[in-house]
Structure 1
Amino acid sequence: MESRGVNSLAVGGLVNYRAEYRKEGYGYISEVMLEYGKVKNKDQLQKKTRDRIFWDNKADLRLSKSWYFFGSVTFESQFDRGYAYYRDGNNEEQASLVSKFMSPGYLTESIGFEYKPVGYFSTRIGTGTAKQTFKLDTTVNQQYNGGNYGVERGKNFKNELAFQIVSNFDKQIFKNVNLKARYQMFIPYDRPLVHVDHRLDVELRSQINRLMNVTLTGVGLFDKDSDPEIQASQALALGVAFTFPR
C-alpha cells in the first residue's frame, strides 16, 4: 500500500490582554482575546483554523470574603469570512459563505453574583442577563447555520433574556505549565431547555523559554441556533510569545 502525505502551510496569532483595577471593595477587569489563523493544504482552498474577537468587561462590589455583586458586558464576533466547504459534481472543492464580521455578533449584558473562593477560580451567576444576536448581512447563506443563528429570517437582530453561568479557571498546575479554562452556560427564559447553550474553552500552555511556548487548545460548543450537533475543535501550536509590561 502506498501512502502519501499532503503539503500544508499554517499561520496563526493570538493576542491576550487583561487589565485589572481593585481598590478596597471595588474592582474592574477588562480582558481582550483576539485569535486568527489559516491553513492551506495542497490542492485545497484556504481554511480558517481560528477566528475570534472576545472582549469581556466586569465591575464588581465585594459583599463578603468570597461573594461579589457584579455587572458585565461581553462582545464576541469574528474578523474574517467563514465558509462551508463541499465538492461539486467534478469533485472540485467549493466554498459557500456562512458567516462574517457581525454575522453573527453577540453582545451580552449581565448582572448577578460572583463566587470567588480562590484567586484562580470564579463563577458568575447572572440572574439578569440579556443577549443581543446580530446578523447584519442577511444575504449570508442560511443553509448551513441551522436556525440562522437564532435571528428571524430577513431580520438582523434578536434580543434574549436569560440566566447565565460563567466559570473561569486559570492556574499554573506544574512548573512552567498553565491551565486556563472558561465554561459558559446560557439558559433563555422564554424557550425550552433544549435550547440551553454551552461553550467550553480550554488552553494548556507550556513555557519553553522566555520567548517560546507550546499550546494545546480545545473548544467545545453546543448552540442549536448555529448547529444541531456539538461542535469541537483542537489545535497544537509552537509559537513565539511577547509579554508587554503593564
Structure 2
Amino acid sequence: MHKILPLLFLFLSFNTILAHAQTAADTTWRRSFSAGVNLNQASFSDNWKAGGVNSVAVNAFLNSRADYKWERVSWDNSMQLQYGIVKNEGEGMRKSIDRIFLDSKYGYGFSTDWNTFVSANFLSQFAPGYEYDVDDVGTDRLISNFFSPAFLTFALGAEYKPNPNFSLRLSPFAPRFTFLLDEDVAVNERYGVPEGDKVRTEWLAAMIQADYQKTVMTNVDLKVHYNAFINYKELSFKRVDHRVNLVLAAKVNKYINVNLMGNLIYDYDQDSNIQYSQSLGLGVLYTLQGFSTGQ
C-alpha cells in the first residue's frame, strides 16, 4: 500500500498539470508552461598558466501550472522538474541538479484574501546521487535515488492570497510520509526512516508554505518557494525542516535566456548543517501561457 499511494498521487498530479490541454470552453483555467535547456562549457589550452579544467554542463528544467477558479472554489496545481549533468576532464559524468516537485491544492474562499484548503505535494529526484571519492581509492558512495528519499505531504489549513503573485499557507495538520525504498541507499543514509522500515510516518505535524513570483524588471522573472515542516513530537528550533527553491530567469530574446537556480535545505534528519545547490546557465527557453476569465 505504501508503494501504491505515492505512485497514485504522481499519476493524478501529472494529469492535473496537463489541464492546460483543456479546450477553450474551459474558461476558468489559468495556465502556463515553460521548459528550457542551459549549457555551460569551458576549455583551456595545455599551456594555460592560470589553470583550469575542461568541462561541459547541461541543465534542463520544466515548470508548469494549471490553476482553476470559479466563484469561491479554486484548484491550483504546479510541477517543477530540474535535472543537470556535468563532465569535467578526467572525471566521469556527474549530476549537478536533480529535483521533482508536484503540488496540488483545493481551496474554498471565505473572504477576499483568505480560503480554507486541502493539499498534497510530492518531492523526490530522478537519478542516483553519490558522495564521490570517500576514501583513498576513490570509492563512490550511493546516498540517494528515486524515492530514496521521497516526501509526500498532505495538509489542511488556511491560505492567505492577496494577489496572484503571493500566497501563504498555514497548516496546523500536515502529515508527512518519508520513503526510503532503495536498500542500497538505506545502508548509507536513513533520512529519518527507522532501521528496518521503508517509510516513516509523521502524523502530528504542521507546515508553512509560501510562494512568490514577480517580474522584477523588464524580461526578468523571479520565483521563490519556501516550505517549513514542524513535527509536534520534536518541538525544537533545530528540528524544524526548511526548504527554499529560487529561480531567477532573464530573457535575452524570445528563445534565449539566462537562468539562476538555487536550492537550500535544512533537515536535521539528513544533516545538522545547511545544504545548498546553485546553477547558472545560458540556454534555450520555450514558454506557453494561456489566461481566461469566467463567463
TM-aligned CA deviation for residue 225 of structure 1: 1.0
Q: Which amino acid aligns with 1:126?
A: S
Structure 1 residue 118, shift from structure 2 partner? 2.0
- Taking the aligned partners of 2:146 and 2:276, their CA distance within structure 1 comes to 21
| Structure having the larger proportion of residues in strand | 1
The answer to whether structure 1 residue 18 and structure 2 residue 62 are counterparts is no
- Residue 43 of structure 1: which of 60, 73, 90 is its match? 90
Which residue of the partner structure matches residue 170 of structure 2? Answer: 125
Give secondary structure in 2 for the equivalent of 1:140.
Answer: helix
Q: Distance in 2 between matches of 1:224 and 1:164?
A: 16
**Contact map agreement 1:53 1:79 (CA 8 A) in 2:** yes
More helix by share: 2
Aligned residue in 1 for 2:281: 237
In 1, Cα distance between the equivalents of 2:102 and 2:53? 37
The correspondence for 1:68, drawn from 115, 124, 133, is 115
Distance in 1 between the 2:251 and 2:53 partners? 30
Secondary structure at the counterpart of residue 96 of structure 2: strand
Unaligned runs of 5+ in 1: none
C-alpha deviation, 1:236, in angstroms = 0.8
Letter in 2 for 1:232: Y
Relative to the length of structure 2, the TM-score reads 0.78
The CA distance in 1 between the partners of 2:272 and 2:67, in whole Å, is 38
| Preserved contact between residue 83 and residue 99 of structure 1 (Cα < 8 Å) | yes
The one-letter amino acid paired with 2:216 is I
Which of 189, 196, 199 is the matching residue for 1:154? 196
Deviation, structure 1 residue 87: 5.2
CA shift, 1:163, in A, is 1.0
Q: Is the 8 A contact 1:96 1:141 kept in 2?
A: no
Q: State the Cα RMSD in Å.
A: 1.5
Pairwise CA distance, 1:56: 0.3
Name the residue aligned to 2:78: 31
Shift of 1:89: 2.6
Aligned mates of 1:165, 1:88 — CA distance in 2: 40
Aligned length: 241
Percent identity of paired positions between Structure 1 and Structure 2 = 39
Q: With a CA cutoff of 8 Å and minimum separation of 6, indicate the structure with the bigger relative contact order.
A: 2
Kept in 1, the 8 Å contact 2:142–2:184? The answer is: no
Structure-2 separation of matches of 1:182 and 1:237: 20
Give the ranges of 4+ consecutive aligned residues of structure 1 lying more than 4 Å apart after TM superposition. none
SS at match of 2:233: coil
Partner residue in 1 for 2:221: 178
> Helix, strand or coil for the counterpart of 2:158?
strand
8 Å CA contact 2:228–2:241 kept in 1: the answer is yes
Looking at structure 2, the residues matched to 179 and 78 of structure 1 have their Cα atoms a distance apart, in angstroms, of: 23
Tell me the equivalent position of 2:266: 222
Q: 1:199 to 1:42 in 2, by over 3 A?
A: same
Q: Is the 8 A contact 2:221 2:250 kept in 1?
A: yes
Secondary structure of the residue aligned to 1:190 is helix
Number of the residue aligned with 1:6: 53
- The 2-side partners of 1:19 and 1:202 are apart by 20
Structure 1 length-normalised TM: 0.93
